Amino acid sequence: MNNSNCSVNREFIKRFLVPVYSSVLIIGLLANGWGLKSLLQNWNKLGNVNVFVLNLGLTDILHLLTLPFLIVYYAMDRNWIFGDALCKITRFCFNLNLYGSIGFLTCISVYRYLAIVHPMRVMGRITVTHTVAISVMVWLLVSVQCLPDMFFTKTLENNTEKCLDTVDKDVERYLEYNLGWALTGFCIPFLITLGCYGHMIVVICKTNRIDKVLKQRSLKLLFITMLLFSVCYIPYFVTRNLHLWSRVLTKQRDCRGWFNGVLFARRISSGLVCMNSALNPLVYLHGNENIGAQLMQLLQRAWQAVIQLFNRCSHVPVVQII
């Protein structure tokens, strides 16, 4: 269907993304702060994998600190008031969190795979120095991969200033860049992770020599990692590239009926992928059997504090001014 007027429904964006980003900001800061504290308290118990988990938490904190700017942006009906430089920094931090999280989840998966499948051959030779060096390499690779994104124009003035992935004039090149980005930063790590867990499950099912606690930790980590990929990452990468393709077609004045659906799915997936910063602390569960109980206690205390605050507010005397 060709139409010179390619319009999409954007009214739902504010109603959906503002509360999602606000919730992720609050929950993410609390969960990562509590999770990192628990990680440091159980540092020796968890082993060398804690270096990867610590870096995973740092990527989340970096992203969470940029969310207030996005909350203001969408609350003001997509009016970016912070300038071009901060727009690029915000997008860069988001991508650094996205690909950094995937990278460190892959490292954790490979480490757990080696602990299950090759415990005698490899695990004794992996030291803290090795895991620190690998973490530095992940940061460097992700930063180099995300750096070209900074050179695409992000802001567009059209009555109100927008903070976009890129403006329409560069969208074809950005789509090509993004496809390569998705291949190296998502598809390859995802396939490595699937391969590790697939082989690990086969080994767990075939042998009884594996320590029960180690087996439970590995299965927990498998469930959490697959949850993150299925809910946060896969929908985002699919809809992101479809949305960029729809923008290319729109630029060519070739409008399709599925544009609104893709935009809707794109915004939903943007909220879901942002949730990885609040869900990544679940990775701490794989190494500490007491964290589940600690989490329930924390939630109960938070709920009691909310109830007490509500009761105090409801009993505040009303002073009438005559």
Q: What is the DSSP string of 237-249?
A: HHHHHHHHHHHHH
Q: Is residue 31 part of a domain?
A: yes
CA distance 296 to 292: 6
User: How many residues does this entry show for the chain?
Assistant: 322
How buried is residue 304: exposed, middle or buried, by Cβ count under 10 Å (0-12/13-18/19+)?
A: exposed
- Residues contacting 248, CB < 8 A, separation 6+: 171, 172, 175
In 3-state terms, what secondary structure has residue 121?
coil
Number of DSSP helices (H) and strands (E) in the chain, helices first = 13, 2
Q: Is residue 71 part of a domain?
A: yes
Question: CB of 135 within 8 A of CB of 107?
Answer: yes
Q: Is residue 130 part of a domain?
A: yes
Query: What's the pLDDT score for residue 6?
Result: 55
One-letter-per-residue 3-state SS of 163-210: ECCCCHHHHHHHHHHHHHHHHHHHHHHHHHHHHHHHHHHHHHHHCCCC
Grade residue 307 by pLDDT with cuts at 50, 70 and 90. low
Q: What is the per-residue pLDDT across 188-236, written as a single tens digit (0 to 9) for each?
A: 999 999 999 999 888 888 877 777 777 777 788 888 888 899 999 999 9
Question: CB of 248 within 8 A of CB of 175?
Answer: yes
Q: Is residue 306 part of a domain?
A: no
Q: What is the per-residue pLDDT across 33-65, written as a single tens digit (0 to 9) for each?
A: 888 887 777 776 666 888 998 999 999 999 999
Q: Is residue 259 part of a domain?
A: yes
Owning domain of residue 40: 11-295
Q: Is residue 124 part of a domain?
A: yes
Query: What's the pLDDT score for residue 321?
Result: 34
Q: What is the per-residue pLDDT across 131-180, written as a single tens digit (0 to 9) for each?
A: 999 999 999 999 999 999 999 988 876 656 888 888 878 889 999 999 99
Q: What is the CATH number of the domain that holds 83?
A: 1.20.1070.10
State the CB neighbour count (10 A cutoff) for residue 281. 26
Q: Is residue 5 part of a domain?
A: no
Grade residue 292 by pLDDT with cuts at 50, 70 and 90. low
Q: Is residue 312 part of a domain?
A: no
φ and ψ at residue 15, rounded to 5 degrees: -65, -25
- State the pTM of this model: 0.84
- Closest to 53 measured CA to CA, from 289, 232, 295, 284: 284
Query: What's the pLDDT score for residue 33?
Result: 85
**Partners of 156 in the β-ladder:** 162
In 3-state terms, what secondary structure has residue 158?
strand
In 3-state terms, what secondary structure has residue 161?
strand
Question: CB of 150 within 8 A of CB of 92?
Answer: yes
| Number of domains forming the structure of the chain | 1
CA distance 21 to 127: 38
CA distance 306 to 312: 10
Name the average pLDDT for the chain: 82
* CA 166 to mean position of chain CA atoms: 20
Cα of first residue to Cα of last residue in the chain, in angstroms, is: 67
Q: What is the per-residue pLDDT across 69-90, written as a single tens digit (0 to 9) for each?
A: 999 998 888 889 998 899 999 9
Structure tokens at 118: 């090759």
Amino acid letter, residue 240:
R
